[in-house]
Amino acid sequence: MRPFLLFILMLAINCQGEKLTSLPLTIRYFYTQNKEKDFNNFVNWHISPRDKSDDAYIFDFFENDKIKYGFIVISNGQEKFKKIFPSQDSSFYNLTDNELEQTYPINLSLFKEFKALNINSLLYIPENNLFLFKLNDYSIIYSVDKMDDITNIKRFSNYKSIDSNWFYIAD
C-alpha cells in the first residue's frame, strides 16, 4: 500500500511542476515570487501609472464602490504625493511624513510594496474579493478565497487557472 501512496504523491507533485513549466515565463516568475504573499494592504486600492510615466502613479482608494481619496505619487529620488480627489492639494508632500498617515490611507510602505511587485497596475475587486495585476502583456488574478473555477464570473471567463487562487490571461 505504501508504494502506491508514494506513487500517487510523486504523480501529484510532477503534475503541478509540469503545469508551472508550461506557464509563460513572465507569469511563472510573478506567481512563484508572490504566491505566498499577503495582499491585504492593497484592499480597496486601484493603482496605475499616470500617463505611461515611469515615476508617477495614481493611487485611488475606494470605499463603498466610490473613490474616497485619489492621490498622485511621484517617485523621482524622493517619494512625494498630492491629494487630487475629492479636493486637490496645492502642493506635494513627502510620503514619509508620519503626520499625514494619520489623515490619509496612503504611506511610503504601501508605495514600496507596490513597486516591489514590478507590475504596471493593481486593481482590487471587492465584489469577488480578487486582486487584478497587470503585468506587461498579461492580466493575473489572485483570489483571496479559493475558487475551483473562475469562469463562472463572466468578465473572467477566459482566464486560465494556475491553482485555486491564481489565474491569468494574455492581453
- pLDDT tens-digit profile of 20-67? 788 999 999 999 999 999 999 999 999 999 987 778 999 999 999 999
- Assess whether pLDDT exceeds 80 at residue 98: no
What is the residue range of 123's domain?
38-170
DSSP 8-state class, residue 100:
H
- Domain membership of residue 3 (yes or no) is no
- Domain membership of residue 82 (yes or no) is yes
What pLDDT score does 66 carry? 95
The gap between the terminal CA atoms of the chain, to the nearest Å, is 47
* Burial label, 106 (beta-carbon count in 10 A; 0-12, 13-18, 19+): buried
- Domain membership of residue 13 (yes or no) is no
What cell was used for 27? Answer: 507569469
Return the higher-pLDDT residue of 9 and 96: 96
- Domain membership of residue 23 (yes or no) is no
Cα separation, 13 vs 155, whole angstroms: 31
- Domain membership of residue 8 (yes or no) is no
Confidence of residue 8 (pLDDT cuts 50, 70, 90): very low
Neighbours of 114 (CB within 10 A): 19
Domain count, the chain: 1
- Domain membership of residue 139 (yes or no) is yes
Confidence of residue 155 (pLDDT cuts 50, 70, 90): confident
- Domain membership of residue 21 (yes or no) is no
What pLDDT score does 85 carry? 95
- Domain membership of residue 52 (yes or no) is yes
